[in-house]
């Protein structure tokens, strides 16, 4: 698979999973957290799918398109591992994390702390969506939509 095909596959999986879970998240109380704002495409998509919902976005630095920048009070800049830790216990309804690098060694390091962080950010019953696996005893893996190949993108519920 070329890098372009891989990117398209990841983006399609991300969209399909978010579209599926947003129906449920819309019925839940709690913030939506976007770990990894990037250029803001997913933030923009979530804003459209969950109108009126508070979405707090985290990133190391601001690099989003002007149409996809959250309000100042909903943008947290700095090392995500540290800045998002300040939100532990917030009982988020949804945490989306797209912070993988595509480098196995770097992503292995992210996998050592991301699942626990997400588990501690979510409310019971809340949903996590991630480009990297979320192996944690409090996160129950859910099946993705039929359009998403196994292990392409991950969706879990906080138990």
Q: What is the 3-state secondary structure (H, E, C) of 48-81?
A: HHCCCCCEEEEECCCCCCHHHCCCHHHEEECCHH
What does pLDDT average to over the chain? 95
Question: Does the structure show a pLDDT above 90 at 102?
Answer: no
pLDDT of res. 104: 85
Q: Which tens digit of pLDDT belongs to each residue from 7-28?
A: 999 999 999 999 999 999 999 9
Q: Which tens digit of pLDDT belongs to each residue from 26-57?
A: 999 999 999 999 999 999 999 999 999 999 99
pLDDT of res. 1: 86
User: Which single residue is written with the structure tokens 């070329």?
Assistant: 2
Q: Please tell me the pTM assigned to this model.
A: 0.95
């Amino acid at each position: 698979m070329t890098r372009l095909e891989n990117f398209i596959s990841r983006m399609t999986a991300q969209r399909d999973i978010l579209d599926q879970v947003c129906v449920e998240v819309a019925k839940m109380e709690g913030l939506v957290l976007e770990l990894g704002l990037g250029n803001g495409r997913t933030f923009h998509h979530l804003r459209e799918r969950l109108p009126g919902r508070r979405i707090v976005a985290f990133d190391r630095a601001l690099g989003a398109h002007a149409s996809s920048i959250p309000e100042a009070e909903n943008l947290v800049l700095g090392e995500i591992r540290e800045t998002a830790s300040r939100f532990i216990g917030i009982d988020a309804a949804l945490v989306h994390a797209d912070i993988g690098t595509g480098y196995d060694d770097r992503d292995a390091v992210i996998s050592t702390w991301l699942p626990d962080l997400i588990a501690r950010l979510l409310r019971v019953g809340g949903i996590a969506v991630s480009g990297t696996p979320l192996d944690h005893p409090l996160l129950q893996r859910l099946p993705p939509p039929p359009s998403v190949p196994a292990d392409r993108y991950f969706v879990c519920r906080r138990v």
